[in-house]
């Protein structure tokens, strides 16, 4: 029920009323509940981890959940953001380039999300201005309130209708007090009024500081920032206190008293060994019960569904914690000082390691520091190597030196996106008789451009315009190593984010010299994956795709599983045969199943 029955029909603000409540077709106020998550004190507290964990435990109860991230920056998407500033760019199936938190939601909820789950100020303002040009505001002067906030409310309700969600989780990027996020907070305040009591649950993540010189936790910064949220008209129902160590009862009491929140709804969200233990941490604190009570949805809970979901999840946590075979995998990149730049890779390694009983230690190697002379020493202790995606020329020669060393000394190798392109360049230079091989991205006038833009891409303009984005089918060569990793499937579907391709003019020469392109586009002369024969190398695989984007805890990404298994063998440990057979059995419900397979044609 809305606060006023007349509100449901007011799609446009007019001179007769100031109410502006855009409603998409089919939306019923009160049918969908909302959980809004805010951050205070500082960014990077883990709002996405908290929100996705809370969403998961409601999903475990049989409820349908849908997340959305609201970002304050004016970019239309995250595609042009530097990883140093904003972590990795996460790409969805439909090609939307978004915030890394969308990856957390996909992995935690085992859902494939879309552009409906991610909104920026750039999108909001563009939509408002387009509507103004079309006269959709009936001659009104367009303002932040009610028009811009109305557009935010419309996005949330459209998601609710599209997903038929029982609960929509709304994460506000940045922190309370940021100028660019103020209208998001106002929109949620308005919407909670419009939807009526019992339909919104406000959750705040705050940070409890512990200055080393004092040796005790301090809550004053959290108190002051909660005051800012109260001033904006948002009174939280639940407060999660982030800290490195468990937050003391005394500090939680101060927060509860200051924010007028019951003590049982102020809990510690301290650091732990894996993000995937957070759901059980929330359950243990009773947060799920509090949300169920606040939103009055106890009648929708399925206890048997929850029991089974918890059992399966606990099995994954147990395998992760019981893994005992140590291996070291080096990640060779140029953003290694910012771990969030490779968040999905880190998670995919964890999934694969838990699946095969490996305890992986990551070694971060800055490719700008690598030379032909230093690479052997840098990789001397590696059981496996990953060269991830990237752009530009900085650190390229260091990566190529690394790839050559891994190939020649039989270190298991996995190349992702740029890591495949550079593997092609390395092989062309040192094996295929093309000493001047390069990419036109690195060297525009290189005499042997084994990596180049395809003709159809050269016609496109703008940094974001000529990218190959989103999910595409990959035809696999029967009997290849990669096909074996995916259970013998003929076609899989992975996500891409790149511009440059293997130049078709050089494919025959490369293959004649032993490089096998075992994954190809079904329709275009585009090489999607390569490998070396296992007769010559234990594991040398690269893909133009980003398989790390579709890895899930309960369904580890096969290429990462292959790498970790090869790393185990290099360390002298033979993985359990039944485990390998189970992981490569070819689950038809795996996220990498192709569009053709979905249609039943493969």
Catalytic annotation, residues: 417, 546, 548
How many residues make up the chain in this entry?
602
Tell me the sheet residues that pair with 413.
385, 540
H or E element at residue 360 = strand 358-366
Contact 417, 389 (CB under 8 A): yes
Rounded CA gap, 38 and 204, in Å? 5
Half-sphere exposure of 550 (CA within 13 A, CB side): 23
Task: List Cα–Cα distances, 499 to 457, 531, 550, in angstroms.
Answer: 7, 21, 20
Q: What are phi and psi of 516, to 5 degrees?
A: -105, 120
Contact 162, 116 (CB under 8 A): yes
Rounded CA gap, 142 and 164, in Å? 31
DSSP per residue over 252-306, as a string?
Answer: HHHHHHHHT--GGGEEEEE--S-GGGHHHHHHHHTHHHHHHHHHT-GGG--HHHH
Burial class (CB in 10 A: 0-12, 13-18, 19+), 410: middle
Rounded CA gap, 462 and 514, in Å? 37
Q: Enumerate the H helices of 164-273 as residue ranges.
A: 182-195, 220-231, 249-259
Rounded CA gap, 359 and 579, in Å? 16
Give the residue carrying structure tokens 């910064």: 221
3-state secondary structure of 364: strand
Nearest Cα residue to 323 out of 587, 556, 559, 56: 556
Rounded CA gap, 241 and 255, in Å? 9
Rounded CA gap, 354 and 315, in Å? 10
């Amino acid at each position: 029920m809305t606060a006023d029955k007349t509100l449901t029909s007011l799609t446009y603000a007019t001179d007769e009323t100031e109410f502006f409540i855009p409603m998409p077709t089919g939306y019923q106020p009160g049918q969908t509940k909302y959980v809004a998550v805010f951050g205070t004190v500082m960014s990077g507290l883990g709002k996405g981890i908290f929100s996705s964990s809370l969403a998961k435990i409601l999903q475990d109860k049989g409820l349908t959940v849908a997340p959305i991230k609201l970002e304050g920056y004016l970019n239309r998407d995250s595609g042009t953001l530097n990883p140093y500033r904003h972590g990795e760019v996460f790409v969805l199936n439909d090609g939307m380039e978004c915030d890394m938190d969308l990856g957390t939601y996909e992995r935690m909820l085992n859902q494939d999300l879309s552009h409906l789950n991610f909104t920026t100020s750039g999108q909001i303002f563009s939509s408002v201005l387009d509507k103004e040009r079309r006269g959709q505001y009936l001659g009104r002067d367009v303002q932040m309130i009610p028009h811009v906030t109305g557009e935010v409310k419309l996005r949330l309700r459209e998601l609710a209708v599209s997903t038929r969600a029982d609960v929509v989780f709304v994460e506000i990027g940045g922190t309370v007090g940021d100028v660019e996020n103020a209208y998001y907070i106002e929109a949620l305040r308005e919407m909670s009024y419009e939807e009526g009591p019992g339909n919104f649950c406000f959750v705040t993540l705050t940070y409890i500081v512990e200055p080393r010189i004092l040796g005790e936790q301090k809550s004053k910064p959290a108190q002051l920032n909660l005051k800012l949220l109260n001033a904006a008209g948002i009174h939280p129902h639940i407060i999660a206190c982030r800290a490195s160590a468990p937050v003391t009862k005394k500090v939680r009491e101060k927060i509860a008293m200051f924010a007028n929140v019951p003590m049982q709804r102020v809990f510690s969200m301290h650091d732990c060994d894996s993000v995937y233990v957070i759901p059980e941490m929330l359950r243990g604190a009773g947060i799920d019960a509090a949300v169920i009570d606040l939103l009055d949805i106890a009648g929708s809970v399925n206890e048997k569904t929850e029991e089974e979901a918890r059992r399966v999840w606990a099995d994954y946590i147990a395998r992760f914690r019981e893994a005992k075979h140590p291996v070291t995998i080096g990640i060779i990149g140029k953003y290694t000082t910012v771990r969030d730049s490779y968040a999905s890779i880190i998670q995919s390694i964890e999934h694969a390691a838990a699946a095969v009983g490996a305890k992986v230690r990551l070694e971060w190697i800055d490719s700008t520091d690598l030379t032909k002379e230093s690479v052997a020493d840098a990789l001397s202790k590696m059981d496996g190597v990953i060269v991830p995606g990237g752009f530009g020329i900085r650190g390229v020669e260091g990566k190529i030196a690394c790839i050559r060393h891994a190939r020649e000394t039989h270190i298991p190798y996995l190349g992702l996106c740029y890591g495949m392109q550079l593997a092609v360049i390395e092989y062309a230079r040192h094996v295929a008789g093309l000493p001047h091989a390069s990419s036109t991205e690195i060297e525009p006038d290189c005499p042997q451009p084994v990596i180049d833009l395809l003709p159809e891409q050269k016609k496109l303009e703008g940094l974001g315009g000529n990218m190959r984005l989103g999910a595409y089918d990959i035809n696999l060569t029967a009997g290849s190593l990669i096909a074996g990793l995916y259970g013998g499937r003929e076609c899989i579907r992975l996500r891409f984010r790149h511009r440059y391709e293997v130049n078709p003019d050089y494919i025959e020469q490369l293959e004649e010299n032993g490089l096998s392109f075992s994954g190809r586009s079904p329709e275009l002369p585009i090489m999607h994956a390569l490998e070396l024969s296992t007769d010559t190398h234990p594991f040398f695989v690269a893909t133009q795709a980003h398989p790390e984007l579709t890895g899930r805890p309960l369904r580890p990404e096969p290429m990462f599983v292959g790498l970790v298994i090869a790393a185990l063998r290099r360390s002298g440990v033979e993985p359990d045969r039944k485990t390998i057979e189970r992981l490569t059995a070819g689950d038809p419900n795996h996220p990498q199943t192709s569009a053709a397979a979905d249609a039943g044609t493969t």
